[in-house]
Structure 1
Amino acid sequence: MVNYHQIIVSVSLVLVLLTKEGTSQLSDKLNVQNSCVSKTTCRECIQTKNCAWCLQPDFGDKPRCFQPSLTPFAGSCSEEWTWNPDNEQKIVFNRELTRAGSASGGSSASGGYEGSYSSSSSSSSSSSSSHSFGASGSYGASGSYGASGQQSIVQISPQRVGLKLRINEEHRLHMRYSQAEDYPVDLYYLMDLSKSMEDDKEKLSKLGDLLSDTMRNITNNFRLGFGSFVDKVLMPYVSTVPKKLVNPCEKCEAPYGFKNHMTLSTNTTLFSEEVRRAAVSGNLDAPEGGFDAIMQAVVCRNQIGWREQARRLLVFSTDAGFHYAGDGKLGGVVTPNDGHCHLDSRGLYTHSTLQDYPSISQVNLKVKQNAINVIFAVTSSQSKVYEKLSTHVEGSSSAILSEDSSNVVELVRDEYSKISSSVEMKDNATSAVKITYSSSCLGNGPPIQTNKCDGLKVGDVVSFTAEIVVTSCPQNEKDWNQIFQIYPVGINESLIVDLEMLCSCPCENPNHSGFEANSPKCKGFGSYKCGICECDEFHFGPNCECSVSDIHSEVSMSRQCRPDNTSVIDCNGRGTCVCGICECEKRPHPEEVISGKFCECDNFSCDRHNGLLCSGPDHGTCSCGECICQPGWIGDACDCRATNETCKPPGGGEICSGHGTCECGACRCDVTPDGRFSGRYCEKCPTCSGRCHELKDCVQCQMYKTGPLAESDLCTKTCTKFVPIEVDVVVADEEKDEHLCTFYDEDDCKFQFVYTDHVEDEQVDVRAKKTRECPPKVFMIGIVFGVIAFIVLIGLAILLLWKLLTTIHDRREFARFEKERMMAKWDTGENPIYKQATSTFKNPTYAGK
């Protein structure tokens, strides 16, 4: 049995592919001029920058998506039928900034809540990573915080806005920040209590009151807390020998992961006592379990006592490195850290041996969510490591702690001053939203692109501008409504933005008056929305008039849109085949038309001349790709005149003076061996020789007494038609038809003359230069002998120099030899092996008598 449903779906896919091929070609052409006209639905249209959609019924074949500032026929769609939404901003909650000296929030600039703005926002992905000040409404009706009874302090304004934004259209949101006086501060001191930090603990216990007094000079609302850490109680981090588990070192407590000794409190005496009573412990490896402690100190908000509205400082003090995610495998712990609080009633971390260390990104995420400023107070040996770590943890800083922590008070004061005197704006918007910040900070100059300002004091007001751009519409329509926050780093306040992305049109909603399901306008096979038909899967065409139920008739209809069997593209790729008939593309310019049974013709692709189609309407018109010329014009672009009258000289004569051809009503001059003709009518030939050679000999003998006629009386007999006129400078005047002649004679001298013919009396006027231009005489013999003499002299000089140098060298060698000979000593007594020669003489005639 034939499965008609599969056949129908197959045909639909074929048609979609063919339609997409033609549509892609159409889009490529239209995008060059106007990206709007290629959009076929209202949703696609308003997701394109600066585009508007026409809802008007019976709008014809013109593109419904248009750019009002560019499209010529935009005015044909009345304003009441045009859907072109603009970006909208509505301030929901705007309380005045708390100024210096005031502990209560000012009145709302708009009277509290401005209207009853209600955004149908859903919990998007941004809410899961939101700042701690979220949609829960930290700004309560009473505006109170803690137990102080004071109204909440406001440091950022406005506090909540609603935005409706189109895709890729910038919106500027202005906000202000001011540091309030006596802003609450919570400081939690998290200390490494391994054995190497024993002297630091003793020093800190003595400095508790001084630390409290120092911070109270900054703010009257200050609380202090204390916690400590060692490491996971597992090998190889600590020794698991039973004895070592009880007493890992002398005067040491049993090891532990993290312990909250003191919840945040104003009792500084208790802080010093808790630090003094806390015993140190010991571990084996150098790195500590500091990340476990930071995670618990950050996320255990109730146990630590972090207030909702306060600047939260976490001072992390250590003299060693840190373990991070993955190191737990060394001790057999493979469960990732879940980022939740796990403290028991004694304040001990219960999951130290059950979960791995947190990663740097996990620590950064929790620090951001809870708006905590971490101060890494570490010894100089670890400062480089923690400086790099602070660049990856938002709102953190690093400072060098002395070996015994004696400078901890100054360190906390200085780091708090750096933190409080700076403001850095960040956000938790999703990837579909791009936000850039600009501000002039405390200066009066133009704003620059920055999200951070330094050098602030209490009461200073800094203005920021956030440029918000929705870069794309998320695939899930629920994400078209989002809530994100813009917040100052380390401050538990934020500007909440209720964002509605304008990704669709109201007329696409079934509840809209412009929406008709199974509309008669669509032959009952589709929905009529936003002025067009959206057909079901079995029909197509502008009014859903074509069916794909019969595969044979569909193939036959497709063939009717092709000029022959060799073509595989419907309507020559410039139209859409609808029920066997080509519907040609519509051009952005209404005067440009594609026509023909197979969309093979147009009136805009003909040859152009000087940028004009067919040289303009006065010369010709374009029809099916060819120029139809007006009478009197010829050529591919109708740019040539059809007459030769314009090529004849004004006084009459041959076409182009007989030295050229007439093309397009203009002379194309000849190039001959004698020269090149020029001029409008080819009447000039500057390079032609003319009568120059004929007059040369006579001018030479009459003016300069040179040449072949100068040695006899032939000059007087032959040169009778003219007598040259002497001039200093020879210049030819072309308007008087004068010809300049230049020659070189047998002496290599240059001479010039100008002649003018008089046709009526066969006479000629000649003006010649008075003197010839001869090159200076060169005495070659003198030059040759001079060169020879110079070479000989150079040779003699070289020989003399060589002789002089050799003589000097020989004399120096001889003098050195004489000196060495005079200094030589031949004392034999100095040689221990020297023996005097013995000579024996015997006289043969001596008889002994």
Structure 2
Amino acid sequence: MDVPSTKHILTNCLIVSVISTIVIAQIPQRYSLPPNVCTLKETCHECIQTPSCSWCFDPDYINSPRCFQPSTSLQPNALCPEEYVFNPDNVLSVIENLTLSETGGIYAGSGSIEESGSGTFSGSVNSGSGGIPEVPKRIVQVSPQRLHLKLRARQSDRFTMSYKQAQDYPLDLYYLMDLSSSMHDDKENLSKLGNKLVLTMKNLTSDFRLGFGSFVDKVVMPYVSTLKQKLQHPCEICVAPYGFRHHMSLSINTHNFSTEVDRAQVSGNLDAPEGGFDAIMQAVVCPEIGWRLQARRLLVFSTDASFHYAGDGKLGGIVKPNDGECHMDNNGYYSQSIYQDYPSIEQINLSIRKKSINAIFAVTNSTISIYRELAKSIEGASVGVLEGDSSNIVDLIVEQYKKISSTVSLKHNASSAVSLKFFSSCLNPDGILLNTNECSGLRVVGDTVDFKVEIEVLKCPKNPKDHFQTIQIRPVGINETLIIDLEMLCECPCEKNGQRNSPRCSSAGTYKCGVCDCNPGAFGTKCECHTGGDIRNVTMNCINPNTTVECSGRGDCVCGHCVCRERPNKLEMITGKFCECDNFSCERHNGKLCSDHGECICGKCQCNPGWKGSNCACQDSTDSCKPATLKGDTLCSGAGTCECGVCVCNVTDNGRFTGKFCEKCPTCGDRCLEFKDCVRCQQYKTGPLKGNECGSNCTLFIPVPAKEPVVANEENGEVLCHYEDEEGCRFNFIYFYDEKQVLVVKAQEQRDCPPTVHIPAIILGVIAAVVLIGLAILLLWKLLTTIHDRREFARFEKEKMMAKWDTINGENPIYKQATSTFKNPTYSGKGNPCAQKRDFTYTVSILNYLDQSSVD
């Protein structure tokens, strides 16, 4: 049989861990709170707004809190029949779940399809062949489409939402161009590149529509010159300025695009920023543009300048805010340009988000940073760098379109009372779920992305009308949504149909959900109490100053006095002015209240004599922490503390002490060093411990004298210790624990000390020896030199006697006269080959020479 590899085992463990995490996360949060949280809730709606709590609306239910936690093993609601328990569960129902589309539908004709208020198709539909209208097939890229969810407060539920981009999904592209004079060459290039743009986009989707619009700025000072001739011709090639003009609606007749761009004329203005925001607003909201219901919508905004926004209109005396509506005349011009201010960035973002439009800002390098910041505030917007003459506009649009279509990002419109979280592994089906609402890297068609959506009601809105909300989750730039009809379970049905002035409420209150809602002036569990003043002055008598709950949540305030509730167990009682005390909630030990060694009084154990601790489980005496034969007050062998009559041994860097009295330390070194000083002071009266110090510090043992301590039994734990003190004396001792766990130390009777040494005598002896040795060396040297001199003198005398040279001539045979040799270079033989070399050697006696010199 094959043994699984370590990598395979780790992979399986990781998969199991991930699955366990997901399963746990999907379990409703019903069993996370302690039961006392539920018992503090006094009304049904407060009870069910607390996770895991249930409400009992039985009219005869008494002596127990009506709000309880049924998941606990302790059942305070055992007296509540099941038919009177209200514990609503989360319910998720699928209303509409159409299959995701593989391909898109092609709209016939040039008519537009717009969304109506109900989300259905409306608008003009052209007829196909034979005069039969061609109705576009519905494209489904989001599944499911509608859910109904009943959800309790502070609880969550999960479901799966899928997105898949259909093949040949319709595409609407509206090109909005700045036609100020600086964009003249850009317009010419766009006119030339129009056909290329159409062909390129149709390679991405066969259902493609194209439209065109232009803008300049508001025709008022200081944006444009108001001189008559400047209003007609701001420049030589310019036409009259305008705010926004719609030239061509979205159409399948895309070959008309180049014609319309070529017909459009540039204009001029004075300041650098342009009125592009007016144009964007009209291009987004006006139905004349022809945006289709089911199509990816692209708004390409091309300019080389910055923009005016809300507030700038005051410079031209325009103070009326932009209303975000369509104001387009029959000629396609924006009619409110000089009457309404520019829209704000948030207005632009809201309109684009509502229409599910992706804005592409194609701007020059000089303004790229401005529009990148703008794109951060507009949902689904992107930015591309436009060449100075717009020569790269086709590539820019294709690049941005692919970037937009390869990413899916989910947005929702839930209120602050609802939390939505998205989890997905994107295109990795075996990957770990990540907390993200965006996945990228999708191909144009075919890829399916699943999102786990977690929805939670954080709190119940105060207005009951807000308990019903419609939440939309949609991919950015796609006009398809998942609609969630959310019903927050914040109220109890029995609270809506209460019985007014019910006899159960002393005819002074409304009976609902088993409790009384008293009329003004009445209070009490059954509205039996009345007061002519403020009821709070009476109920305050039932509230402990240390809390804010009436009768500590364990009783009922009856006419200003707490009536404590009875317990099912008659031996258990709740007492106190504010029902703050009881005799059953004290600490337990081994399941016994106060360890059966005390009495539970007001939640605290009062221990019997001889016992202590919060649960009376500890003995008061410490005698059990030391052997009966141990001397002094040292507990646990000095290596632990006595807690509840039991030794808790210390853990040191060297090891851990064990044993009933912490007398052992298997992992420690020996205790020789610990016992050494006590052995010295007790046995030999030496060492650092003197007098009383020895008696107070050495209480663990009294050494037993032994002539020669040896280890007799190593299995008994006997340890032999060897030491040498500062006097050079050696001593041995052994220690062990006898059968009664009493420490026994056997010490050597007498120390082994070296003999006494007379240091002064040794020093004097050494000095004398050094002196004597020095004198002996001097005498020996004198003797040797005398003998050597006598020998040399005797040799001299002998040689003198043996001398035999000629004394007559007076010459010493040992002496040799000095000689000099000279060569005559004249007679070297050069120039006369027949001549023989002649060397003349002259020997001159230096003594004769000296004699002759002296004579001369």
Q: TM-score, normalised by structure 2?
A: 0.68
Matched residue, 2:398: 413
CA shift, 1:313, in A, is 1.0
The structure 2 residue matched to 1:579, chosen from 537, 559, 571, is 559
Name the SS of the counterpart of 2:599 in structure 1.
Answer: strand
1:462 maps onto 2:442 in alignment: no
Matches for 1:701-780 after TM superposition, within 5 Å = 725-726=707-708, 744=725, 747-753=727-733, 767=748
Cα deviation digits, residues 381-417 of structure 1 (max 9, x gap): 1122212211211111111112111222222222212
Matched residue, 1:521: 504
Name the SS of the counterpart of 2:160 in structure 1.
Answer: strand
CA shift, 1:72, in A, is 1.4
Matches for 1:460-499 after TM superposition, within 5 Å = 460-499=447-486
Cα distance in 1 between the residues matched to 2:125 and 2:160: 24
Matches for 1:153-192 after TM superposition, within 5 Å = 153-192=139-178
Matched residue, 1:252: 238
1:87 maps onto 2:70 in alignment: no
Name the SS of the counterpart of 2:432 in structure 1.
Answer: coil
CA shift, 1:446, in A, is 2.8
Cα distance in 2 between the residues matched to 1:473 and 1:412: 46
Question: Which residue identity lines up with residue 601 of structure 2 in the other structure?
Answer: S
Question: Which residue identity lines up with residue 582 of structure 1 in the other structure?
Answer: C
Question: Which residue identity lines up with residue 322 of structure 1 in the other structure?
Answer: F
1:541–1:140 distance in 2 versus 1, CA, 3 Å? farther
Question: Which residue identity lines up with residue 509 of structure 1 in the other structure?
Answer: K
Matches for 1:270-669 after TM superposition, within 5 Å = 270-300=256-286, 302-444=287-429, 445-457=431-443, 458-510=445-497, 515-549=498-532, 577-584=557-564, 593-597=573-577, 599=579, 601-603=581-583, 615-616=594-595, 618-624=596-602, 627=605, 638=616
1:727–1:399 distance in 2 versus 1, CA, 3 Å? same
Cα deviation digits, residues 518-539 of structure 1 (max 9, x gap): 2111111111111111111221
Question: Which residue identity lines up with residue 620 of structure 1 in the other structure?
Answer: G
Question: Which residue identity lines up with residue 304 of structure 2 in the other structure?
Answer: D
Name the SS of the counterpart of 2:708 in structure 1.
Answer: strand
Cα deviation digits, residues 725-778 of structure 1 (max 9, x gap): 335789999999x99998846x3545344699xxxxxxx98646986699xxx9
1:250–1:538 distance in 2 versus 1, CA, 3 Å? same
Cα distance in 2 between the residues matched to 1:483 and 1:694: 92
1:640–1:398 distance in 2 versus 1, CA, 3 Å? closer
1:252–1:158 distance in 2 versus 1, CA, 3 Å? same
Cα deviation digits, residues 61-84 of structure 1 (max 9, x gap): 312212222361155133322211
CA shift, 1:599, in A, is 3.7
Question: Which residue identity lines up with residue 79 of structure 1 in the other structure?
Answer: E
Residues 64, 77 of structure 2: 8 Å contact kept = no
Matches for 1:84-233 after TM superposition, within 5 Å = 84-100=87-103, 136-138=118-120, 148-233=134-219
CA shift, 1:334, in A, is 1.6
CA shift, 1:269, in A, is 3.2
1:696 maps onto 2:684 in alignment: yes
CA shift, 1:102, in A, is 7.0
Q: TM-score, normalised by structure 1?
A: 0.68
Name the SS of the counterpart of 2:450 in structure 1.
Answer: strand
1:137–1:224 distance in 2 versus 1, CA, 3 Å? same
Matched residue, 1:25: none
Name the SS of the counterpart of 2:169 in structure 1.
Answer: coil
Structure 2 unaligned residues grouped into runs of 5+ = 1-31, 108-113, 636-641, 648-658, 664-673, 688-703, 737-744, 764-856
CA shift, 1:641, in A, is 6.5
The count of residues paired between Structure 1 and Structure 2 equals 665
After TM superposition, the structure 1 stretch with the greater mean CA deviation from structure 2, 189-198 or 396-405, is 396-405
Matches for 1:679-690 after TM superposition, within 5 Å = none
Residues 144, 152 of structure 1: 8 Å contact kept = no
CA shift, 1:584, in A, is 3.8
Matched residue, 2:57: 55
1:183–1:352 distance in 2 versus 1, CA, 3 Å? same
Cα deviation digits, residues 131-189 of structure 1 (max 9, x gap): x9686132699999997423211111111111111112111121211111222111111
Cα deviation digits, residues 346-377 of structure 1 (max 9, x gap): 11111111111111111111000001111111
Cα deviation digits, residues 553-598 of structure 1 (max 9, x gap): 997x77987999xx99997998664214323479999997530355
1:152–1:570 distance in 2 versus 1, CA, 3 Å? closer
Question: Which residue identity lines up with residue 483 of structure 1 in the other structure?
Answer: T
Question: Which residue identity lines up with residue 136 of structure 1 in the other structure?
Answer: S
Residues 134, 496 of structure 1: 8 Å contact kept = no
Question: Which residue identity lines up with residue 40 of structure 1 in the other structure?
Answer: E
1:233–1:543 distance in 2 versus 1, CA, 3 Å? same
Cα distance in 2 between the residues matched to 1:419 and 1:548: 70
CA shift, 1:287, in A, is 0.7
Name the SS of the counterpart of 1:490 in structure 2.
Answer: coil
CA shift, 1:504, in A, is 0.6
Question: Which residue identity lines up with residue 254 of structure 1 in the other structure?
Answer: A
Name the SS of the counterpart of 2:39 in structure 1.
Answer: coil
Name the SS of the counterpart of 2:201 in structure 1.
Answer: helix
Matched residue, 1:17: none
Residues 523, 544 of structure 1: 8 Å contact kept = yes
Name the SS of the counterpart of 1:207 in structure 2.
Answer: helix
Residues 33, 52 of structure 2: 8 Å contact kept = no
Cα distance in 2 between the residues matched to 1:554 and 1:379: 71
Cα distance in 1 between the residues matched to 2:483 and 2:379: 20
1:335–1:101 distance in 2 versus 1, CA, 3 Å? closer
Fraction of identical pairs, as percent: 50
Cα distance in 1 between the residues matched to 2:278 and 2:272: 16
Cα deviation digits, residues 649-696 of structure 1 (max 9, x gap): 88xx9xx879799x999699xxxxxxxxx99799xxx97999976863
Cα distance in 1 between the residues matched to 2:543 and 2:144: 64
Cα distance in 2 between the residues matched to 1:181 and 1:219: 8
Cα distance in 2 between the residues matched to 1:406 and 1:648: 98
1:38 maps onto 2:18 in alignment: no
1:70 maps onto 2:57 in alignment: no
Name the SS of the counterpart of 1:275 in structure 2.
Answer: helix
Cα distance in 2 between the residues matched to 1:311 and 1:646: 86
CA shift, 1:517, in A, is 2.3
Indicate the structure whose relative CO is greater, using CA pairs within 8 Å and at least 6 residues apart.
1
Name the SS of the counterpart of 1:324 in structure 2.
Answer: coil
Cα distance in 2 between the residues matched to 1:74 and 1:145: 73
Residues 105, 136 of structure 2: 8 Å contact kept = no
Name the SS of the counterpart of 1:486 in structure 2.
Answer: strand
Cα distance in 1 between the residues matched to 2:627 and 2:327: 108
